[in-house]
């Protein structure tokens, strides 16, 4: 009887071990399936990041050197040669000129236009309020661990916040807009963020 109990105990231990390992294998396969279903964010090399920074500087310099658009508050973001222009200008001619200036810069693959025409005049009080709101939104985005704040530009005009730049997913786009909307003083959010390709 002792021998039978000893063998059953050993068999039970062996069965428990096998089932435990099978469960671990199954869980690891499920994890792999989920990981495979979730696309990894696009990667960039240090060289591409440096190239994009240089390209951003060249486009900003070209815009500052142009008489028609040099005084405008135009944000420039670049990802893998794609340049995004955002901000506010006085008229459609300034949008067209900004686009042509950016496209003429060597190395620019494409230009994504997110510029808006200003509506009405803005008072000094509006400008101060907008600066405070912009700072609050930038701080909220920087404080959010799920957003790479260095890649989200923020401009405010009359309480309307404009977000631009490049993010990894639609989820980050929506989350950035939600974070901005939650900031005190924000009247609305124009979400011009683009997903990295």
DSSP the chain: -HHHHHHHHHHHHHHHHHHHHHHHHHHHHHHHHHHHHSPPPP---HHHHHHHHHHHHHHHHHHHT-TTTTTSEEEEEEETTEEEEEEEESSHHHHHHHHHHHHTSTT--EEEEEEEE--S---HHHHHHHHHHHHHHHHHHHT-TTS-GGGEEEEEETTEEEEEEEES-HHHHHHHHHHHHTSTT--EEEEEEEE--
Q: Judge contact between 155 and 75, C-beta under 8 A.
A: yes
Q: With beta carbons less than 8 A apart as the criterion, state whether 131 and 111 touch.
A: no
What was the pLDDT predicted at 150? 62
Write down the pLDDT at residue 125: 84
Segments of the chain scoring below 70 in pLDDT: 1-44, 48, 71, 148-150
User: What integer pLDDT is reported at residue 36 of this predicted model?
Assistant: 38
Q: Cα–Cα distance between 2 and 184 in angstroms, integer?
A: 76
pLDDT at residue 42, rounded to an integer = 56
Its pTM stands at: 0.65
């Amino acid at each position: 009887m002792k021998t039978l109990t000893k063998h059953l105990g050993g068999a039970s231990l062996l069965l428990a071990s096998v089932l435990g390992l099978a469960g671990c294998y199954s869980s690891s396969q499920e994890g792999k399936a989920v990981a495979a279903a979730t696309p990894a964010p696009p990667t960039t090399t240090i060289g591409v990041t440096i190239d994009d920074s240089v390209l951003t500087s060249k486009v900003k310099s070209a815009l500052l050197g142009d008489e028609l658009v040099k005084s405008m508050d135009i944000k420039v973001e670049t990802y893998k040669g794609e340049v995004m222009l955002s901000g506010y200008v006085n008229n459609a001619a300034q949008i067209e000129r900004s686009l042509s200036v950016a496209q003429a810069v060597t190395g620019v693959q494409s230009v994504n236009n997110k510029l808006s025409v200003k509506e009405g005049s803005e008072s000094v009080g509006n400008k101060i309020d907008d600066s405070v709101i912009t700072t609050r939104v930038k701080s909220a985005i920087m404080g959010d661990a799920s957003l790479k704040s260095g890649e989200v530009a923020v401009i405010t005009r009359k309480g309307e916040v404009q977000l631009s730049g490049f993010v990894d997913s639609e989820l980050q786009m929506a989350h950035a807009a939600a974070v901005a909307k939650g900031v005190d003083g924000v009247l609305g959010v124009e979400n011009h963020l683009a997903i990295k390709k």
